[in-house]
Structure 1
């Protein structure tokens, strides 16, 4: 009995729990439905509010669009009215022009008719005059002109002379004005030439090391560079002397390297001189590039720039040729701009006018002809060649820029202090000494040293024997006596050197 009661109680509890759960579930469902209905009502309200606001906004937009449309239509109507009015005026003007053209054509026809009648009468009169005078029209005119020329010959000559004088004065005045305006615009110091370079030594003892045992080092250095080393009692100083600035610069660089290295012997001397030559080659390349950049020329071939760089170590009448070329290019550009001519052609021609001087010691001929051949080889603009080739007036002036290059060349050379003719004569004599030595077969190198008082000649050992060496010295001396004029005497030293080289491995 107790078990039945317990089972009944459990069953009743389960039923009651189920019913309670169902009740709570229904209650929660109803509550959720109410909340959803409330939320839906709220959303519906917001929807209506948004629609209302959108409706108001759309009405405002429509209203604004209507007003803008009315304004645009009004503007278009006004413009259309104005265009119609202008079109009406143009039609009236066109009608007036047509009428005027008609009147003009009628007048032109009348004039042509009158001109025809006058020409016929003129022909009749000329024929009548020819019949009366017995002369044709051309003959009568010739007689008339001769009579006028004879009667007024003196007045015509006086007028032409005055005209020529005034023209010449005007041209000279304009030329002076251009030169006066051009020269002050180019401010650059004048570089005067020197033939010596001073090297400062760290100690006086370094002089002995440079001289070497029995003068071995200094002789080897001078033989390889062609530069004289002057060592005197001046403390801590050695002077390099040579008329050739390239040799002198190579010697300076090599000697400074030797001093810094400390090892001074024939092998090291040869090594440092070779290094110095490479540095000079690089410096020449940079000099050409910098010069072209300075004058604003950027389209020259590399080979031309290298030749221009070599002019850094060339001098003419004491004036550095590269600096002179830069000056001529600058002056030529300024003058061309003043005269409204081709400044680019004038500038480039001025820059390249002395390029032949870079190789005159290697190629026979004058620098102008060599320069023309170089520019033609590298396809430089023909106008530039025509402009540069007349700067010595050996060629006719083919284009106006040729006159400008000549004027710029004269201005650069004529500036006070720009050139020194005495040193040019001295350098020319030294170059002629070396040229005489090179004219003999078997000569490898020749250096004029000691201010031109000594000519040191190196010969190829395979081509010149010891006996022939003495004869060669005599022949060179005789040729110098015949062809050159010089003060005092010139010592000719011919050197024949044999080397035996072997390697220990």
Structure 2
């Protein structure tokens, strides 16, 4: 037991000694770690201080550079301000010098004006004295002498002017006819236009005769639907590989031709499809009409036309008069008007505009009882054309009084374009026969003494005896002649019937 106690005591003492030694070792190690940490901290501190110092120096250098740049800018601004101040001072000095010069000039002018006023007063006094002396010598007052002098000068000027006018009129009579012919011939020579004759039928070519049966359809339903939709007559006969489209309206013929082309290319031909294709083609033709009108205006250099007038011009492409294409006739008339106006020293652009629009009354959207010239003038006025253009359109068949020089030019150029050889299809024999028929119809009425078909058969003038027909009867006579012409004759456009009743008294002095 004593040994056990000794062992325990030995263990306790050994443990205490080991603990003390272990504590001593740990303390030494801790002290070394602290010393190492302090050294590293010092190194880091010195390194950080160096970095902070370096950044400080960099910042300081940047600030110094920025301050230097700012100082340079301030110096530049100061220099500019100094230069501007110097310039302003110089300008102020210049203005002061000029003001001084103006003051001196003003004073000098005032002095001269005063001297001039004095001289004028002196001159008036001298003139008054001179006039008094002249009145005393002549025995006439100044007003009476002036009146006599003016009357004498008027008589002399009137005599000279009348002589000059007579010379000019004599010279004009000798040269006017020759000059007019020269201008007309030169105008025609400078405007060359191809001749295109319009027909009332269109021949539609097909690849084979089997297509004819498909176009006709079962019991003719397809061809009836196509005729009803387009308003034309389709002739399918024994002519090989051809179908004839007949109509006086070229627009309808063109719509039918295009619709047939699309139907045959598509292969589906039945009434519902026909109506669909015809509606589509009508829209295409309307677009083509507008595009044609725009292209015509651009080609002729005419600007500012109302869109509705542009559309009407495009419709002329599908209209004809005496077989002459109306758009081609309008273009040719416009060019002729431009050349003739230039020859006469007038505005060629206005003349060209009036020439292009002169027949717009022939393509109305709605039927009108007015002659085409008056209806065209009404349309032009509606769409804000100038008064001289409106007058030229309305007066080109003498149905309106001419108020400008453009009107006779348009009238002459319209006649030139229509009278060119080959321009219109009507032959001379038929033309002469139509005029004779007009005159014979009017001559068959009682009381008619003379008849004249004028303006290419567009107007019939009937002269009646004043002792046979009174003023009330002439209205009935003109209406009867017009009704009979409508019933018995075929003619393009309208015919104006003018009945003239006059009383003449003739005497002779021997």
* 1:37 and 2:46 are equivalent in the alignment: yes
2:426 match: secondary structure: helix
- Give the aligned partner of residue 368 of structure 2: 363
- Give the aligned partner of residue 484 of structure 1: 489
2:198 match: secondary structure: coil
Question: Which structure carries more relative contact order (alpha carbon 8 Å, separation 6+)?
Answer: 1
- Write out per-residue CA displacement over residues 117-146 of structure 1, whole angstroms, 9 at most, x where no aligned residue: 366357644686464999664355324543
1:380 match: secondary structure: coil
State the alpha-carbon separation in 2 of the partners of residues 154 and 381 from structure 1.
41
State the alpha-carbon separation in 1 of the partners of residues 276 and 429 from structure 2.
32
For 1:276-425, what aligned pairs fall within 5 Å after superposition?
A: 278-279=279-280, 281-294=282-295, 295=297, 300=306, 307-325=312-330, 351-359=356-364, 362-375=367-380, 380-381=384-385, 383=387, 385-386=390-391, 388-392=393-397, 394-396=399-401, 402=406, 406=410, 410=414, 413=417, 419-422=423-426
For 1:45-60, what aligned pairs fall within 5 Å after superposition?
A: 45=54, 47-48=56-57, 50-51=59-60, 54-55=63-64, 58-59=67-68
Offset at 1:28? 0.7
Offset at 1:249? 2.8
Compared CA separation, residues 148 and 76, structure 1 to 2 (3 A): closer
- Give the aligned partner of residue 83 of structure 2: 75
* 1:95 and 2:103 are equivalent in the alignment: yes
State the alpha-carbon separation in 2 of the partners of residues 115 and 177 from structure 1.
66
1:227·1:248 contact (CA, 8 Å) conserved in 2? no
Structure 1: which 5+ runs fail to align?
431-477, 487-505
Aligned length: 423
1:227·1:251 contact (CA, 8 Å) conserved in 2? no
State the alpha-carbon separation in 1 of the partners of residues 231 and 65 from structure 2.
103
* 1:20 and 2:29 are equivalent in the alignment: yes
1:387·1:399 contact (CA, 8 Å) conserved in 2? yes
* 1:116 and 2:124 are equivalent in the alignment: yes
2:255·2:285 contact (CA, 8 Å) conserved in 1? no
For 1:68-467, what aligned pairs fall within 5 Å after superposition?
A: 68=76, 71-72=79-80, 75-76=83-84, 79-80=87-88, 82-84=90-92, 86-114=94-122, 116-117=124-125, 120=128, 124=132, 125=134, 129=138, 131=140, 137-139=146-148, 141-146=150-155, 149-150=158-159, 152=160, 156-157=164-165, 160-161=168-169, 191-206=196-211, 225-227=231-233, 229=235, 231-232=237-238, 235-253=240-258, 255-256=260-261, 268=270, 274=275, 278-279=279-280, 281-294=282-295, 295=297, 300=306, 307-325=312-330, 351-359=356-364, 362-375=367-380, 380-381=384-385, 383=387, 385-386=390-391, 388-392=393-397, 394-396=399-401, 402=406, 406=410, 410=414, 413=417, 419-422=423-426
Compared CA separation, residues 104 and 158, structure 1 to 2 (3 A): farther
1:94 match: secondary structure: helix
Higher mean C-alpha deviation, range 307-316 or range 70-79:
70-79
- Give the aligned partner of residue 466 of structure 2: none
2:322·2:426 contact (CA, 8 Å) conserved in 1? yes
1:327·1:412 contact (CA, 8 Å) conserved in 2? no
Offset at 1:322? 3.6
State the alpha-carbon separation in 1 of the partners of residues 18 and 283 from structure 2.
119
2:41 match: secondary structure: helix
1:287 match: secondary structure: helix
Root-mean-square deviation (CA, aligned residues, Å) is 5.6
Offset at 1:387? 5.8
Question: Taking structure 2 as the reference length, what is the TM-score of the superposition?
Answer: 0.60
Offset at 1:272? 7.1
Question: Taking structure 1 as the reference length, what is the TM-score of the superposition?
Answer: 0.61
Higher mean C-alpha deviation, range 273-282 or range 1-10:
273-282
- Write out per-residue CA displacement over residues 312-335 of structure 1, whole angstroms, 9 at most, x where no aligned residue: 321124333244446666887899
State the alpha-carbon separation in 2 of the partners of residues 244 and 149 from structure 1.
63
State the alpha-carbon separation in 1 of the partners of residues 328 and 408 from structure 2.
18
State the alpha-carbon separation in 1 of the partners of residues 162 and 409 from structure 2.
40
1:318·1:423 contact (CA, 8 Å) conserved in 2? no
1:412·1:418 contact (CA, 8 Å) conserved in 2? no
1:319·1:419 contact (CA, 8 Å) conserved in 2? yes
2:263·2:274 contact (CA, 8 Å) conserved in 1? no
